[in-house]
Structure 1
Amino acid sequence: MTKLKTVSQYKEGLLGKNRAALAQAITLIESQAAKHKHLAQQLMKEIYSHTGKSIRIGFTGVPGAGKSTLINAFGTYLCDQGYRVAVLAIDPSSTVSGGSILGDKTRMEQLAKHPRAFVRPSPSQGTLGGVHRKTREAVLLCEAAGYDVIFIETMGVGQGEGIVKQMVDVFVLLVLTGAGDELQGIKKGILELADLICVNKADGDNRKKAVLTKKEYESVISFLYAHSSSWQPRVLTTSVYETGDLISLWNHILDYKSWLIQNERFEQKRGLQLSSWLQSRIADYLYESFYGKQELRDTLKDVEQRMQKGDITMEEAFETIIHQYKQVNQPIK
């Protein structure tokens, strides 16, 4: 496919469900080039009315929990059932190039080749939450391109799950057997964020251990939600080799979505996603308006050294930096 140049070309390609056009559109919105930013903003305005019809699902888990392998099998199963599945897989960034290191297409080869799927690895670029700054925009582009199930795979537990939770409708936590040791490595807060918990790799001889681990997690969840009338996270066992497990996972996801709708929580959740997005954009802007200016970085380094020597107080250091910040960012009359 030739390189797209205009908003109308991008929009036509997206609404025509063209995967190459979607890939180019995501590259456009991820670009830091000034000439691309305006085009990207115009494109987002044009396609906005065609978004919001998917179910957005986040996956996180401890290292080695098998996130990519499960997404590969689960996504392929859904595609075979007639769904169109998009995967926004977040790789850790190279400290040299800033690009993706792992290359999730190689880990999701079966799904990536499916005609009803789209797999896009993006570098996290050091963003808290293990997601790219433009992941939310990428979700909307995927929806405009007709994908009705969207997975966001994070780098793993400990990467700011709260941020990912604010992007999705359903948040899935993958864990391994041996809950006694496992629970020590998973913070209570992460369990409370999860809507579903999958004891993964429940294969062969590990199946019995997975069932025991499932019961241990159910016991913990029951304790955490003993006095709550809200949704109580479900715990299930999953194996990529068992189609029945994939069916069960999908049914649990649909059950949770139905619960959200019945309790008038779904639209509320989507509204909170938008609020979180706005706050994130403001935070990014403020961060860039400070750390993006060399003179401010120089001032920061200087006052840090003076403060460490005892020449100025913390408050004086702060006031010096803020004064410089206001001068640097003062509008030119």
Structure 2
Amino acid sequence: MLVAAALAAVCFGAAGIAPADAFASLAARLGVGTTPLSAIEDAIVVKLRMPRVLAACAVGAGLAIVGVVMQALVRNPLADPYLLGVSSGASVGAVLVLIAGLGVLLPVAAFAGALLALLATLGLAGAAGGATPTRTVLAGVVVASAASALVSLVIFWGADGDAYREILAWLLGSLASISWQSALIALVGAALALPLLVSGRLLDALSLGDSAAGALGVDARRTRWVLLVACALVTGVLVSVSGAIGFIGLVVPHAVRLVVGSSHALLLPASGLAGAIVLLVADTVARAAFDPRELPVGIVTALIGAPVFAALMLTGRVRT
């Protein structure tokens, strides 16, 4: 399914390109044969669509994996990658550089904002008596609210014209401006998520509660801190490229559980694949379905994710 979705994303759009021609164009870039496409069509495949496909796969897979881990760590079915205020912190950094006209620094600023938000959340939870699941969630809510208020203040005070449109597109989540450099950053974020795939046994133990995990030889407090920091770092890298794309890390894990069950050894890789497919399809729809306009992909994922999550709730499929 992922290969089919990627092939459709490369070929489908205002400039329709045959799959064989797209393959030939990519092979020509690797020194095999020549491209049958015109210079413009070749640029569309290689410089516009391919990096966007790779970024969508990386971001979707990373967010879904982090969503699984977060739901297990805090034992909350509403947990998602943005629970610790990471996306709101990233938004502060992104908005500041866009207001200043320094869009080239957006990934760096967004990641820095995400990292500061993580430190603030964990620091607040620790100061309140320790980073238990409940305190961590509450601290994340506080940090996210404060960062969102700061974003609103900065936009109200200094955004106008092109800066306002750039900010809005980023806040809604978009892959429209993805370049090969951005795609590589997204792939780094996905690579950072790979070690989480081997945390299945630890997550199974933590799902039973800290006491049961301790009886199984798992240091619950230390494991939770390490995994929380890892999740926040992965999310910060991904959000710095795509903006805050919602529902992937929330809905995909619940949907995949219906297929593979609750064992995290299967749930983590399956959710990664499903997240890549869902975001890739959503981005293709956002890019091509409303031509000549393009929707931010975050709108499409919300339009899909909200009714799907509601259906899961109504049928009792959301694990509580």
Q: TM-score range by the shorter chain?
A: under 0.3
Higher strand share: 1
Larger Rg: 1
More contact order relative to length (CA 8 Å, sep ≥ 6): 2
State the TM-score, normalized to the length of structure 1: 0.23
Higher helix share: 2
